A and B are shown apart, each in its own frame.
Chain A
Amino acid sequence: MALIQPARPEPEQPDEPGGRGRKLARYGVPVAVAGVAAATIGLVPALADAGDPSLPSVTAEQLLTKIAASQTRTVDGTVKVTTDLGLPDLSGGSALLGGLGTPGSGGSGDSPAAPQSQLTQLLTGSHQLHVAADGPDRQKISIIEPAAEYSLIRNGTQLWAYDSGSDQAYHATLPAPSQQHEGLGGAADGVPTTPQAAAEQVLKAADGTSRITVDGTARVAGRSAYELVVTPEHATDTTVGAIRIAVDSATGVPLKFTLTPKGGGKAVFDIGFTRVDFGTPAAGTFTFTPPKGVKVTEGSTPSRAASPAPQGAAPTVLGKGWDTIAVIDTSALNKGAGKGADGGFAGFGAQGKDKPARGSGDSGSGDVSALLNGFGSKVSGSFGTGTAVHTRLVNALLTDKGTLYVGAVTQSALVQAADAAK
């Protein structure tokens, strides 16, 4: 078969093969394109982050005053939350954590659009949030999921939620004068959804128990910020290594919050703005009309507004500062149909209602222990035996008698506490 050489149709189109050199030169084009692209992708973020901004130096006290005196009450931005507790990633089917965080309040917790079943997914993996706020009464938080979104809108006493994944809505009426100082975005159901909410919780607790220093500057979401470092002091058992808060130099608003464990490694909790604008969001942002055909679940007054825990379920607190251990009597929690302990990490204390109850009807501790057995380990001490769940930050110990010890402390500290309580 005769070789057909490439034709030469026009003189300006040199298509003829010119030996190996030309061949190599032509293959150089895709390689060069790929190389330039790789270099651009690698360099552009590096250039954007280049150099920490130089700001006038401040003391930690001045910076804390600045945070407290911050007058910024409006925000519109994108927040990235990354949580790495060392738990298995449940974000795909968050039924387990959803069940964990859902208190046995009946009714309202059943809706997939209820805040309790949605916000707990923030406890694993990485999530992108859209946050808008206009004063303490009007807030909107959207969890951006692939091809889906969960929006939580608060306008005065009206709380609306819409979950596009299930096409369902949730509505609740809050008691009129809710917490005045909620900050931007707030900590809905104990899960902080803005760096400011996280920083507020920590700085409140850090007073007098920590060393607070200013450690240079950083650039967060295109703004220059001071880096505030909170290190636990007088605490031997805590698993918290250090907390780093980037504070906007202009407004005093915390822009980024990073918690690293004492054991080192990746941050356990990292929440920061990737884009932020302190202007007033459009008024329409905070109005919600349930779309036609969408099922709306009416919630009872959500637990976030008032948290006097039911009788008997109130956690007892052992120790102080960073070594604090919460002690929860889970058998009492069951009787109280506990609404109290559904906030944040204390969500471990609430029973998972979807879990098959072990044994007889009074399933409170049965539920919890069935759950803990799933990814816990057996421990024993002079208190008897129990099940311990270990994460990179929070440890929990459930004794076979039904008492739950929980805290950001080492497992041995929990065992000691249980021994002492015997």
Chain B
Amino acid sequence: MTEQPLLRLRGVTKTYGAGPASFLALKGIDLDIEQGEFVAVMGPSGSGKSTMMNILGCLDTPSTGSYTFQGVHVETLTRDQRALLRRYQLGFVFQGFNLLSRTTALENVELPLIYRHEPKARRRIAALEALEKVGLHGWENHTPAELSGGQQQRVAIARAIVSKPSVLLADEPTGNLDSKTSREIMELITGINRQSITVLMVSHEPDMAAYAGRIIHFVDGCVDSDVLNPEAPR
């Protein structure tokens, strides 16, 4: 049995639009990501980094090329099959937090478990545990409007990890936060990575990317550099 990386992209391209107005966002990406890595994807806007994240997150499909997730060819899956893959294997953290408004932190964190049909008692225990992990013990019954930006992002991280995913995808997780809060969030994410959850993060701030063990630079739809970061906190 040959060694199979967790995520493997081979010759992945992505075209938006059709005809003369079409735009090639990704120009043939080959990439392997191993279990347990912490990868930061950097690059200017329009460089294709978000497009690649959407493909890795199974939110979008490549135009050509192949993407295997634990040996499964994602490009052949249906919409619902990809949804199930997200449900059981992936956790998402977004720049805009994307919490349900007027809904308590606890209910927000419970949401992925409802879709996983966990029984009520187990759902509650797991959600409380996740909230404690992100340092929000005692804030369970607050709605997003009653929480600061940092706290909202912690709720979002709790929601992403409550289902114990194998990969955490974070799209500019600190984009809307001040630098002190950003560092706290990054330390939280680093801690999650130490519990052998693979982390993929898009960021354009070098300070934040510096937490990652591997930094990939995107320019113009291609991988410009792919380097290990020995300075990363371990």
Partners in one complex: no
Interface residues of A (CB under 8 A from B): none
Interface residues of B (CB under 8 A from A): none
